[in-house]
Amino acid sequence: MQAEGDNGSGKEWYVLKVQTNRERTIREALLKKIKLEQLEKHFGEIVIPSERVVDSRAKSGEVERKLFPGYIMIEMALNDETWYLVRDTSGVGDFAGAAGKPLPMEPYEVDRMLGRGSEESVASPKVRIGVSVGEIVKINEGMFENFEGRVEGIDEHSGKVSVLIEIFGRSTPVELDHWQVELI
């Protein structure tokens, strides 16, 4: 199984389907097997696509969230030996591709997944907000405490939530921090 369109080094990026919530242990198992079989020259990076998210429940304030649970990206030169090594690793399901034939990722897909060339990936982490647009929430702090309203908009980067509340019989939009509202 030789890969088509080699990028000079012969290595291309592939997507592996793996058991969900075992991505880290499967990545470590792959790294150990590669070293044990002395196939380091055929492999590059093994990445679990994730992003940093602000979470008020976490001690550090930030958590790492997997972008695609159950998937790992692997840079490798595809041949019979490397294909069998990866497929025989416990927890690996298969390569993503058509009819069992691994398809390499396009360069723009790799750049997007790894956050290369994107200003947004270097920007501050997104805020994890526990409500969605259209849900009814109760304001639990601030000038409008105990008011209820419908979420009109969410800004994950600033952590702001726009809520439509009724004041004197009129619907009025109010911008609040995400921690000032709770789902009813």
Digit-coded pLDDT (tens) for 111-162: 887 776 544 444 556 677 888 999 999 999 888 999 999 999 998 878 889 9
Residues of the chain within CATH 3.30.70.940 domain(s) are 12-126
For range 43-50, the mean pLDDT: 91
Average pLDDT, rounded, for the chain:
84
Q: What pLDDT was estimated at residue 121?
A: 45
CATH of 129-183, picked from 1.20.1180.10, 3.60.40.10, 3.40.190.10, 2.30.30.30, is 2.30.30.30
% residues pLDDT > 70 (the chain) = 83
Q: What pLDDT was estimated at residue 162?
A: 94
CA distance 145 to 176: 11
Q: What pLDDT was estimated at residue 100?
A: 64
Q: Which residues lie closer than 8 Å to 83 by C-beta, 6 or more apart?
A: 1, 102
The 10 Å Cβ neighbour count of residue 51 is 14
Name the nearest CA neighbour of 173 among 154, 157, 158, 156.
154
Q: What is the pTM of this model?
A: 0.59
Decide if pLDDT at 81 tops 80: yes
Decide if pLDDT at 68 tops 70: yes
For range 166-174, the mean pLDDT: 91
pLDDT band at 102 (very low <50, low <70, confident <90, very high): confident
Query: What would the CATH number be for the domain defined by 12-126?
Result: 3.30.70.940
